[in-house]
Amino acid sequence: MKTSRIDLSRIIGVLVVMAGVTALVGVAVGGAVGRGLDVAAVTALAAAPGVRVLALAVAWVRVRDYKYAAASLALILLIIVSVIGTALWR
């Protein structure tokens, strides 16, 4: 039986490369488009550890360890709030 597993290292690698490329293009372009690309780069960079934490949260829910699952969801919420704050501040 074939199981459906997500390759986290590949997803995180794509997010990091995407963050680097969008940041580089954002700096080169400048203006409103550059700002949008910079925000996208910060979002992609913050999403990389968020993906891993989300995978841990799902694993903890599956084994009914709700204390760690709640803590990981709080960390994900903190990541989301920090990205929004950075995007607004930028």
Domains held by the chain: number? 1
Instruction: Give dist(CA 50, CA 73) in Å, integer.
Output: 10
Q: Is there a domain that residue 3 lies in?
A: no
Residues 6+ apart with CB under 8 A from 22: 37, 38, 40, 41, 44
- Return the residue matching tokens 């995007």: 87
Domain hosting residue 64, numbered range: 8-89
User: Model confidence over 10-21: pLDDT tens digits?
Assistant: 888 888 999 999
**Tens-digit pLDDT profile for residues 43-73:** 888 888 888 898 899 999 999 999 999 999 9
Residues 6+ apart with CB under 8 A from 52: 8, 12
| Domain presence at residue 2 | no
Q: How confident is the model at residue 90 (pLDDT cuts 50, 70, 90)?
A: low
